[in-house]
Chains A and B, each alone.
Chain A
């Protein structure tokens, strides 16, 4: 079955330190991969995507993600965390079923401590 896994329920990091939020996927073919962020009582916001090309993609607010085909991973990273980055982060994959069906991981709560 096609799926997205975020192995960590929560990630804690000190402000100024680098952060990584992990994501692995199980999808047939070449996936379209996405990261979204959700702040309290808000909808999800698109951060970045990998479609093809360079394995390191850059997105909003200084975030980037690294696509690794052999490890079927798409980890979200940021060199220096901010307290304002504290939020719920979702990894998502668009399935190769001819449409736009997009499934999401369970989400990882990022907590950045000042």
Chain B
């Protein structure tokens, strides 16, 4: 199974700041990586697919980058509604696997 190592586990930042979440795969996943946002009490929502493609309706302050085994999600100009947990997921190999999540809070 491909292990997805996500960091940091938690993050506290101020409104307007830029934050970055990292995800490392245990082997090359050829950019078949998605990022999801899960607000408290809600189901996950797709933010980014194919490592850097923005899903429909997602604000442009979210961006994804990376290749091979290293990927990142950047959130520019942090807003209060960005308080959530964020998960990466590889869909290159079975079983599809997720990172352990990053909990983002506002300082």
Q: Do A and B come from one complex?
A: no
